[in-house]
């Protein structure tokens, strides 16, 4: 957000029309949108560069997601006859 705000302020969020009326500077907003797209592509490239093996220790196991340590004794509603 800070980078986008900096881009917006560097280009200038408003400009004066020929009549002296203050109008939004759409070029500034386009530049901020372009900067956001570039930052997204950089982040995606970094995310793709991280190998699954390196990321595995930070991922929770399936048991943590289900809330149970031992899933072998669970029965589904189909098995229970519901």
For residue 13, the tally of other CB atoms under 10 A from its CB is: 14
Q: What is the pTM of this model?
A: 0.61
Domain ranges for the chain: 1-11+25-49
Q: What sections of the chain are H helices per DSSP?
A: 2-11, 26-49, 52-55, 62-66, 77-80
| Tens digits of residue pLDDT in 11-64 | 998 989 899 999 999 999 999 999 999 999 999 999 999 998 888 888 887 766
């Amino acid at each position: 957000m800070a980078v986008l705000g900096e881009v917006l302020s560097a280009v200038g969020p408003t400009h004066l029309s020929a009549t002296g009326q203050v109008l939004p500077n759409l070029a500034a907003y386009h530049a901020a949108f372009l900067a956001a797209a570039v930052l997204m592509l950089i982040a995606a490239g970094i995310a793709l560069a991280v190998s699954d093996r390196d990321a595995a220790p930070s991922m929770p196991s399936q048991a943590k997601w289900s809330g149970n340590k031992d899933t072998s004794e669970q029965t589904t509603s189909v098995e229970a006859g519901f």
